[in-house]
Chain A
């Protein structure tokens, strides 16, 4: 069961995350999109872990059915509504196209977003990407970032 649900959830999460950040990138607040996406996942986990079972007074076995039902109800509309900005371009207010508020001004965009997109990097294939040293450094960096969290959360002596 986990072999089926794991990859399907990973695909759904990644595609939803990329859509969310894609939309918020249109208003130069990409990090906010990632934050809201994460918040929803976090609140869902928090509420369900604390109150879900208590409110419904259900067994662990039944909780799987409840999770499946709630997830399905929440996911089905997204199958039909999920669009990327390329599919459904955002209408930009005409005023913002002129003067100081020009949304094409990259320095203003960078300031609003909090970082500068790397526009110098060409599109790389997965193989080309794997041949760069930088991506491996970044991968190791992410492993190092999350490893303490994983150790900490799962350690029965330290976890809260």
Chain B
């Protein structure tokens, strides 16, 4: 936020709070909505489909150097939507395990799924730091990015990162929409 939009500390704090509170409330809202408003599989499709759209949207506004206050608010809202979807996906973990593998396998499948989240949290920062080290002569502190070249490099790095995130998120959508199905034992086995 500070690097891209030169946001003040207050704006950064507000956007952090919006992100976190959306993240927290999304858990309850998702849990409440499943079964009452939306089916589990539709919820999974929706959350996994909206995430990449938001990543592509934010990547595009940064690539086009849209860093005015209005676009910054759009960026914050898109982030909040991403937070909502991320959190919704976590809530899908146990219902999905039950729908795919049944109650008898719930603890084993849930723990595997949580381990997969741990692996993601391990790989994610490593990939991110690799990307940062390759990003060249740019700084987190916006005051240090003085030249036009640094500014351009920052926008390119950030938008490319968001497009890559969108690509990964879209592959997750394809995986959940088409590949993950309730387990049936092969009769020939």
Contacts and interface: CB of A to CB of B under 8 A. Distances in A.
B176 A126 contact: no
A144 B91 contact: no
13 contacts: A17-B110, A34-B94, A38-B24, A39-B24, A49-B20, A115-B41, A117-B98, A121-B184, A146-B89, A148-B169, A151-B128, A155-B132, A157-B132
Contacts of A157: 3-4, 132, 138, 140, 154, 157-158, 161
B24 A134 contact: no
Considering the complex of A and B, which 4 residue pairs feature the smallest CB-CB distances, nearest first? Answer: A35-B31, A42-B24, A150-B124, A38-B27
Interface of B: 1, 3-4, 12-13, 15-17, 19-21, 23-32, 34-36, 38-41, 43, 48, 51, 55, 76, 79, 82, 86-87, 89-96, 98-117, 119-121, 123-125, 127-128, 131-132, 138, 140, 154, 157-158, 161-162, 165-166, 168-169, 171-172, 175-176, 179-185
B98 A145 contact: no
Given A42-B20, A154-B128, A160-B76, 18 more contacts: A34-B91, A38-B87, A39-B31, A42-B24, A50-B17, A114-B40, A114-B43, A114-B95, A121-B100, A121-B182, A124-B108, A129-B109, A145-B172, A149-B124, A150-B124, A157-B138, A158-B162, A160-B15
B20 A45 contact: yes
A41 B25 CA distance: 10
A114 B39 contact: yes
A156 B27 CA distance: 25
Contacts of B90: 38, 146
A117 B102 contact: yes
A145 B24 contact: no
Nearest to B118: A10
Interface string A39-57: 1011101100110000000
A138 B108 contact: no
B96 to A, nearest CB: 8
Contacts of B119: 143
Size bin of chain A's contact surface: 35 or more
B3 to A, nearest CB: 5
A31 B104 contact: no
B103 A25 contact: yes
A151 B165 contact: yes
A87 interface: no
A69 interface: no
Nearest to B175: A141
A46 B117 contact: no
Contact of B180 (A122, A138, A143): A138
Contacts of B3: 156-157
